[in-house]
Amino acid sequence: MVNLLNTDLNLLVPLDALLTERNVTRAGARIGVSQPAMSAALGRLRRQFDDELLVRVGSHYELTPLAEDLAGRVRDVLRMAEETLNPRPGFDPASSTREFNLISSDYAVAVLAPLFMARLRLHAPDVKVRMASVDATAIDSPQTALRSADLLFTPRGQTSGIPSTDLFSDHWVCISGTARSGGRLDEDELRSSRWARAFADYGGTAADRQVDELVVGARVDLVVDSLALLPTAIAGTDLLALVPNRLLAHAESLAVVHRVEVPLPRIRLREAAWWHPSLQDDPGHRWFRGLVRDAARSLPADPAAQEPEELAARTEPAAAGPAAVEDRCPA
């Protein structure tokens, strides 16, 4: 067992910065210390753990397996220390300098970030936000990913078993890189079409899986790791892709791609924010997720929400409405 009396607990703060930034200079800037001082702290931490923690791979650093394991635990320890040492638990957005870490697809960032950042600048001018892209860990093990992040933005149906709140609804639309006659395709044309997809390595989206049910062995010629890349990636080609309606407006206004009606059921999605159970009652976190939720509710309603309930039931798992799932925490 480690003897805390012989351990420099001040190293927890630079350790957290190093594990988050994966860069000595940026970690120093994050906590307001010089690069030499942060390098010295890294040396002491390496001796403490008998592990390199950060290893250079090409032009950047990556975490060792031990460092990956430490990241969430260190953040939890620092959070509990702050709560313990704070004589007046609470959160004042006007004076807070807290940083919130988000994991999100570029789609959710494009739709939501301008709205909640405007509110943040107004009500909490010194609060910062850091965003990271959704990766395999966030999809396969969201609770692990959320040990080092505050919120994960992902649609319902991909994650369960952790606290969440609904943000907004949307629906998938089909686009083509070139105009199609009559703006529609019949089933035979759909079966012979070629596709571009995002996240194919992770099983694709719910909309892509609908295509696979109709077109066994659908030809996928292009795979990207970003929904926002799909419109520009297929521009000028005969490829088809399925993207959320709210993401399409800008590319459509530039005539980069064209909407196409296809013989598929209307596929709905409900974007949600998810967080680690340990943050459920954190005052600052409650305030921030409320700000994000309110920003999302200022979006125009999705027209597909007016469709008959029986169609929605066919195309997405049943879920409670927004009011029923706010700050939901599993028993």
Measured between alpha carbons, how far is 4 from 246 in angstroms, rounded to an integer? 52
Do both 78 and 104 map to the same domain? no
What DSSP assignment string belongs to 33-77?
A: --HHHHHHHHHHHHHHHTS-SEEEETTEEEE-HHHHHHHHHHHHH
Mind listing the pLDDT tens digit for each residue in 21-70?
Answer: 888 998 888 888 898 999 999 999 999 889 999 998 888 889 999 988 88
pLDDT at position 318 is 33
Do both 140 and 69 map to the same domain? no
Do both 79 and 111 map to the same domain? no
Do both 21 and 148 map to the same domain? no
Lowest model confidence (mean pLDDT) among 159-173, 197-211, 274-288? 197-211
Q: Tell me what the mean pLDDT of segment 135-150 comes to.
A: 85
Residue 203, Ramachandran bin (φ over 0: left; ψ between -120 and 50: alpha; else beta): left
Annotate 252-298 with three-state secondary structure: HHCCCCEEEECCCCCCEEEEEEECCHHHCCCHHHHHHHHHHHHHHCC
Do both 71 and 104 map to the same domain? no
Do both 32 and 110 map to the same domain? no
Q: Specify the DSSP class assigned to residue 237.
A: S
pLDDT at position 256 is 78
Mind listing the pLDDT tens digit for each residue in 103-124?
Answer: 998 899 999 999 999 999 999 9
Q: Would you say residue 302 lies in a domain? A: yes
Instruction: Choose one of 33, 55, 85: the last residue of a domain.
Output: 85
Count of domains in the chain?
Answer: 2
CATH number of domain containing 227: 3.40.190.290
pLDDT band at 296 (very low <50, low <70, confident <90, very high): very high
Task: Return the residue matching tokens 């706010």.
Answer: 326
Measured between alpha carbons, how far is 82 from 88 in angstroms, rounded to an integer? 11
Do both 231 and 252 map to the same domain? yes
pLDDT band at 202 (very low <50, low <70, confident <90, very high): low
Helices 12-21 and 24-31, interaxial angle, to 10°? 130
**Whether pLDDT at 329 is above 80:** no
Residue 236, Ramachandran bin (φ over 0: left; ψ between -120 and 50: alpha; else beta): left
Do both 190 and 295 map to the same domain? yes
Measured between alpha carbons, how far is 53 from 98 in angstroms, rounded to an integer? 25
- Please report the sign of the dihedral spanned by the C-alpha atoms of residue 84, residue 89, residue 90, residue 96: negative
* H or E, element range at 208: helix 206-214
pTM exceeding 0.75: no
Torsion of CA 249, 253, 258, 263, to 10 degrees: 30
CATH number of domain containing 15: 1.10.10.10
Evaluate whether 168 touches 302 at the Cβ level (below 8 Å). Answer: yes
Q: Would you say residue 90 lies in a domain? A: no
Mean pLDDT of the chain: 84
pLDDT band at 166 (very low <50, low <70, confident <90, very high): very high
> Which residues, other chains included, contact 313 with Cβ-Cβ below 8 Å and sequence gap of 6+?
none
Do both 54 and 100 map to the same domain? no
Do both 35 and 184 map to the same domain? no
The parent domain of residue 25 ranges over 4-85
Measured between alpha carbons, how far is 146 from 277 in angstroms, rounded to an integer? 9
Instruction: Choose one of 29, 61, 85: the last residue of a domain.
Output: 85
Q: Specify the DSSP class assigned to residue 184.
A: B
Do both 270 and 155 map to the same domain? yes
